[in-house]
Copies of this chain bind each other. A is one copy, B any other.
Amino acid sequence: MDETTKYQLPESELPTHWYNIQADLPKQAPPPLHPGTHQPIGPADLAPLFPMELIKQEVSSEREIAIPDEVREVYRLWRPTPLVRARRLERALDTPAHIYFKYEGASPVGSHKPNTAVAQAYYNKQEGVRRLTTETGAGQWGTALAMACNFFGIGLKVYMVKVSYEQKPYRRSIMQIYGADVVASPSADTNAGRAIRASSPDTPGSLGIAISEAVEDAATRDDTKYSLGSVLNHVLMHQTVIGQEAIKQMEMAGEYPDVVIGCAGGGSNYAGIAFPFMREKLAGKRATRFVAVEPEACPSLTKGEYRYDFGDTAGMTPLVKMYTLGHTFIPEGIHAGGLRYHGMANLVCELFDQGYMEARAYHQTAVFEAALQFARAEAIVPAPESAHAVKAAIDEALEAKAAGKRRVILFNLSGHGYFDLAAYDQYLAGKLQDFAYPADKVKEAMAAVPVIA
């Protein structure tokens, strides 16, 4: 009975640096290209959208970058987050595997997103930026940035995908509690928004459209910059506090993971848990397996092609080399809104391409089945995105059982599902829909991907 459940680090063990995996990549990652010239972009190209310190981090080859005291002070409100040994789940599965999860749902907005939101708001404030814009789907990112902007006294305008704005009012409420200005996207406030409203008055909106609006807003106002919640190098780097803490907590538990698992939409929570462990693999010290988990309805790593593509629907962003389903691909309306992205962070793609990690895709119903099993064992209701990692962890544990082998499994529970309960209602009512891999739609979207010489 006196077995530890939660491995809790004291605040004094809060990481002092972010880990920049660019310093350790065996083969350098391909640079982003200018959308017009197809030439590698420089800092000046990004300056209208991002503060210089984040641009420097984006291209930095320094291994460790110090976390400013002001950022660590905010992290302390909820960090270090607990590492939990899922003993009840292990017993329910009757597996010899040891299952650990890092619980990022412990943040005030219920996900890992504040790890980068706080850093981004801080650097913008430092450089005199008075207002930020961003896009959000279901609202995890928007709530995190709203909290961060409130702390640093910066204004925020959030372009929230229309269907979520209407169907999921509660994350919108939280953004407003923190003082953010939230509009449904496409909105009447930008040229991009107005054009789409004119041509498709009934559109439910999409992340790609919302990005176009937020970027236009920031690019056309001197006091305003833009903030992105995933995909970019500096965003992934800010998330490495997760894995760094987990390394120390696994030491407390006296174990080292055989496999590290995270769900992957844009790639930031996966990178957050994986990169600090990957550092030891890249250094040749460990043979750890890494698994990124995607929805079958939007399987960029498992079914996409590794080539240059735009980050947004309208083609306004730089071209980034990534496993892509085509920037015009609109995934079906699965409940894991944070995984509905056509591409993937370049750094994750590069590690996948270089063979350092695996990827797998699951259907929605199987994911919710795993989520329910987890909730009944461990009490926490996972976010639909995070439930993809839960499903993979359960499968790994069952494989270990079948093989009669010990296996130490670590996954990132990137968020809780208390704002996603309508999805659970549908699952419990047997009304949840599965979506097959949309081969035809992807083929069509891939035809629109620019060909780079």
Question: Which residues of A approach B to under 8 Å, CB–CB?
Answer: 1, 4-6, 8, 10-11, 69, 72-73, 76-78, 84, 88, 106, 108-110, 147, 150-151, 169-170, 173-174, 176-179, 372, 375-376, 378-381, 418-419, 421-422, 424-425, 428
Q: List 14 A-B contacts (CB under 8 A).
A: A1-B69, A4-B11, A4-B76, A5-B76, A6-B77, A8-B10, A150-B376, A173-B428, A174-B421, A176-B424, A176-B425, A177-B424, A179-B376, A418-B419
Asked if residues B147 and A379 are in contact (CB atoms below 8 Å), the reply is yes
SS of A interface (majority): helix
Instruction: Give Cα A42–Cα B110 distance, bound, in whole angstroms.
Output: 47
Q: Which residues of B contact A381 (CB under 8 A)?
A: 108, 174, 177
A5-B77 contact given A150-B376, A178-B375, A375-B178, CB 8 Å threshold: yes
A87–chain B nearest beta-carbon distance, Å: 9
- Per the bound structure, the CA–CA distance linking A76 and B174 in Å amounts to 29
Pairwise interchain contact A177-B372, C-beta atoms closer than 8 A: yes
Q: Kindly list chain B residues whose C-beta atoms are within 8 Å of the C-beta of A378.
A: 77, 108
> Which residues does chain B contribute within 8 Å of A375, judged by CB atoms?
177-178
Question: Which of chain B's residues has its CB closest to A170's CB?
Answer: B421
**Residue contact B108 to A169, C-beta cutoff 8 Å:** no
Report yes or no: A421 in contact with B73, Cβ–Cβ below 8 A. no
Residue ID in chain B nearest A105 by CB atoms: B108
Given contacts A4-B11, A108-B379, A376-B178, contact A173 B424 (CB under 8 A): yes
> Which residue of chain B has its CB nearest to the CB of A429?
B176
Complex CA gap A378/B178 in Å reads 11
Residue of B nearest to A173 (CB): B421
Closest to A425 in B: B173
- Cα–Cα, bound, A170→B416 (Å): 14
B residues within 8 A CB of A147?
Answer: 379
List residues of chain B with CB within 8 A of the CB of A78. Answer: 379
The 7 closest A-B pairs by CB, nearest first: A108-B379, A173-B421, A5-B76, A170-B421, A1-B69, A108-B380, A173-B425
Question: What's the minimum C-beta distance from A385 to chain B, rounded to whole angstroms?
Answer: 17
Residues of B within 8 A of A77 (CB): 5-6, 84, 378-379
Distance of A273 Cα from B106 Cα, bound (Å): 22
List, in ascending order, chain B residues with CB within 8 A of A372's CB.
177
Task: List 9 other contacts, CB 8 Å, given A8-B10, A108-B379, A177-B381.
Answer: A1-B73, A4-B11, A4-B76, A77-B84, A78-B379, A109-B379, A169-B425, A173-B425, A174-B421
Residues of B within 8 A of A6 (CB): 11, 76-77
A423: nearest chain-B partner, CB-CB:
B173
Shortest Cβ distance from residue A66 to the other chain B in the assembled complex, whole angstroms: 13
Q: How far in angstroms is the closest Cβ of chain B from A95? A: 19
Which residues of B lie under 8 Å from residue A425 when comparing CB positions? 169, 173, 176
Give Cα distance in the complex from A110 to B110, angstroms.
Answer: 12
| Residue from B10, B88, B418 within 8 A of A110 (CB atoms) | B418
Nearest CB of chain B from residue A405's CB, rounded to whole Å: 27
CB A301 to nearest CB in B, in angstroms, measures 30
User: Cα distance A87–B380 when bound, in Å?
Assistant: 29
A70–B149 alpha-carbon span in the complex (Å): 44
> In this complex, what residue of B is CB-closest to A75?
B5
A305 → chain B closest CB, angstroms: 39
| Closest residue of B by beta carbon distance from A176 | B428
Distance (whole angstroms) from the CB of A108 to the closest CB of chain B:
4
For residue A421, which residues in chain B have a CB less than 8 angstroms away from its CB? 169-170, 173-174, 177
Question: In the complex, what distance in Å separates the CA atom of A367 from the CA atom of B178?
Answer: 17
Minimal Cβ-Cβ distance residue in B for A428:
B176
Given contacts A108-B379, A378-B77, A418-B110, contact A428 B5 (CB under 8 A): no
